[in-house]
Amino acid sequence: MSPLFAHQKAAYHGLLATAEVFFHGDWRKLGVTPRFTRLLIGPTGVGKTHLVRRLALQLSVPMLEVASATWIPFGCTERAGVPTWKQIATFCHDHQCGIIFIDEVDKLGERSSWMNHLRVEIFAALDRTMPVNLSWDVDECEHADAEECRDHAINILSNHMFIVGGGAFQDLWVAKNVKSMGFGSALPSGTCVPEQQELASVIPAEIANRFVTPPLILPPLGEPEYRRLLDQLCKCLPARLAARARVAGEVSIGEAVQQGLGCRWAERLLLEALTRERQETAPRRKEPGL
């Protein structure tokens, strides 16, 4: 299981606490159902998807990943891809419990005729229901008819699927970085966490109301966080690779902060270390003759 980085731990433990109540609590005996759907907020590259995958491994449950940018709505042919709701329905039929991660929910705030169409379908998933016009292939279902298939899938979705949303809400971090940078400062601090008022000004109410409040926040990384990220990466590697990753990291840490590379920086360092090792240890090939 890949390690958690320092900036991810608070959000992960909040996510895990909610998931454990959802999967193992006795809330289903109550007359009212709590809202369990959690929202992960953080700029690109801070590890939102990594956290949800880690959660699924920790709890030993299957996971389905979908995203608004690649959501295939009703009406699309099989040639264009399998409609996303059919994937969700199949996942619910195939598993008694699991995690559904819906990424890029920040794009649902965009106003366009296409996004309005998608919003209906994605909000249905976040609300733990299913569109009424969802077709059912009874031959693939153990239940007797389409109505029973639908009822079974809705029951699994409503009571046994832990739903997590993810979004960058990039405007929020741009505003925080500008606010946190002093005169003449070249780099954002990376440690600023938005306040509730700032979150409310960026996250549309129709999105925020579908999740537990407050959202779980993965802050952007500043230079100290990148140095800890580099330290943790090197601890996971054999000494020879760690040394090469360390050299590459010291050279590129300023670029990582400026460009907001996030955890992708660690992947880049690992690839560079592996490439250099290969170049230094592989036997030289003869150059082809002209």
For residue 169, pLDDT over 80 is answered with yes
For residue 111, pLDDT over 90 is answered with no
User: Each residue of 122-168: pLDDT tens digit?
Assistant: 999 999 988 776 665 655 566 556 777 788 889 999 999 999 999 99
Query: 173 or 40: whose pLDDT is higher?
Result: 40
**Can you tell me the distance from the alpha carbon of 17 to that of 20, in angstroms, rounded to the nearest whole number?**
5
Strands 98-103 and 161-167: parallel
**Can you tell me the distance from the alpha carbon of 65 to that of 53, in angstroms, rounded to the nearest whole number?**
9
Mean pLDDT of the 238-266 span? 92
Is the CB of residue 55 less than 8 Å from the CB of residue 99? yes
Residue 189 has a pLDDT of: 44
Is the CB of residue 163 less than 8 Å from the CB of residue 56? no
For residue 181, pLDDT over 70 is answered with no
Mean pLDDT of the 63-90 span? 84
Regarding pTM above 0.75, the answer is: yes
Phi and psi (nearest 5°) for 163? -105, 130
Residue 288 has a pLDDT of: 61
Quick one: pLDDT band at residue 184, thresholds 50, 70, 90? very low
Residue 82 has a pLDDT of: 80
Residue 109 has a pLDDT of: 87
**Can you tell me the distance from the alpha carbon of 68 to that of 120, in angstroms, rounded to the nearest whole number?**
12
Distances (CA, A) of 211 to 107, 120, 182, 206, 260: 16, 16, 34, 10, 27
**Token code pair at residue 234:** 């090197």
Is the CB of residue 154 less than 8 Å from the CB of residue 160? no
Residue 6 has a pLDDT of: 78
Q: Picking from 25-34, 92-101, 128-137, 171-180, which range would have the lowest pLDDT averaged per residue?
A: 171-180
277: part of which helix (H) or strand (E)? helix 264-281
Mean pLDDT of the 73-92 span? 80
End-to-end CA distance of the chain: 49
Q: How many CB atoms lie under 10 A from the CB of residue 78? A: 9
CATH code 3.30.1340 for 6-167: no
User: Each residue of 220-234: pLDDT tens digit?
Assistant: 888 988 998 899 899
Query: 188 or 283: whose pLDDT is higher?
Result: 283
Mean pLDDT of the chain: 85
